[in-house]
Amino acid sequence: MPVLSANLGFPRMGANRELKRQVEAYWSGKIDASALLKVAHDLRKDHWELQKNVLGLDIVPSNDFTFYDHVLDHAFTVGAIPMRYREVFIKTNDDSLPCALEGEFLSTYFAMARGFQQLPSDGSECPVVDLEAMEMKKWFDTNYHYIVPEFHPDQQFKLTSNKFLEEYKQAKSLGIETRPVLIGPVSLLLLGKTSPNCPVDFEPIQLLEGLLPVYEEIIKHLAEAGACSIQFDEPCLVQDLSPKAAQSYHVAYSCLSTAAKKCVKPIKLHLTTYFGDIIPNLSLVLPNLPIDGLHIDLLRAPQQFETILDAAAKHPNLQLSIGVINGRNIWKTDLSAAFETVKKAVTVLGADRVIIAPSCSLLHTPHSLDAESGLDPEIKDWLAFSVEKIKEIVLLTKAANNGIDCIKDELEANQRSIQIRRTSSKTHNPTVQERLKCITRDMMHRRSTFDKRWVKQQEIFNLPRFPTTTIGSFPQTAEVRKARAAFKRGEISQEKYTEFINDEIKKCIQLQEKNDIDVLVHGEFERTDMVEFFGEHLKGYIFTKNGWVQSYGSRCVKPPIIYGDVYRPNPMTVEVAKYAKSLTKKPLKGMLTGPVTMLQWSFVRDDQHDKLTTQQLALAIRDEVSDLEAAGINVIQIDEPALREGLPLRHSEWKEYLNWSVDCFLLASCSVADTTQIHTHMCYSDFYDIIDAITRMDADVITIENSRSNLKFLRGNESFTYPNEIGPGIYDIHSPRIPLHEEMEHRLEEMLNRLKRNSIWVNPDCGLKTRKWNEVDLALKNMTDVAKKFRSKNC
516's torsion region: left (phi>0), alpha (psi -120 to 50) or beta? left
Burial (CB count within 10 angstroms: exposed 0-12, middle 13-18, buried 19+), residue 27: middle
Return d(Cα 543, Cα 374) in angstroms, integer.
9
- The CA distance from 83 to 150, in Å, is 10
197, with CB counted inside 10 A (0-12, 13-18, 19+), is exposed
Report whether 705 belongs to an annotated binding site.
yes
236 appears as a binding residue in the annotation: no
CB-neighbour burial class of residue 478 (10 A; exposed 0-12, middle 13-18, buried 19+) = exposed
**Which pairing describes strands 635-639 and 677-682: parallel, antiparallel, or unpaired?**
parallel
Annotated catalytic residue: which of 295, 651, 734, 746? 734
The three-point CA angle 300-301-306 to 5° equals: 150
Query: Is 135 in contact with 148 (CB distance < 8 Å)?
Result: yes
Contacts of 793 (CB under 8 A, 6+ apart): none
Cβ atoms 289, 326 nearer than 8 A: no
Handedness of CA 453, 457, 458, 460 (dihedral sign): positive
Q: Cα 138 from chain centroid?
A: 5
Pairing of strands 319-325, 354-358: parallel
**Distances in whole angstroms, Cα of residue 273 to Cα of each of 184, 233, 315, 338:** 10, 6, 18, 19
99 appears as a binding residue in the annotation: no
CA distances from 650 to 189, 276, 282 (A): 19, 9, 15
How far apart CA 235 and CA 258 sit, in angstroms, is 22
Q: Residue 241 and residue 142: Cα distance in Å, rounded? A: 20
Q: Is 734 a catalytic residue?
A: yes
d(CA 644, CA 693): 10
Per the CB < 8 A criterion, the answer to whether 515 and 777 are in contact is yes
Q: How many CB atoms lie within 10 A of CB 10?
A: 25
Q: Considering all CA atoms of the chain, what is the largest pairwise distance in Å, rounded to the nearest integer?
A: 80
Q: Which residues contact 370 (CB under 8 A, 6 or more apart)?
A: 15, 387
With 0-12 CB in 10 A as exposed, 13-18 as middle and 19+ as buried, what is 589?
buried
Rounded Cα–Cα distance for residues 651 and 276 (Å): 13
Is residue 631 within 8 Å of 578, Cβ to Cβ?
A: yes
- 681 known ligand binder: yes
> Does residue 351 contact residue 319 with C-beta atoms inside 8 Å?
no
> Burial level of 387, CB count in 10 A (0-12/13-18/19+)?
buried
Q: Does the annotation place 555 within a ligand binding site? A: yes
N-term to C-term CA, the chain:
74
Residue 286 to residue 307: CA distance in whole angstroms: 11
Q: Which residues are catalytic?
A: 734
The binding site for L-homocysteine comprises: 471-473, 639
The binding site comprises: 20, 143, 471-473, 524, 555-556, 601, 639, 681, 683, 705, 766
The binding site for L-methionine comprises: 471-473, 524, 639
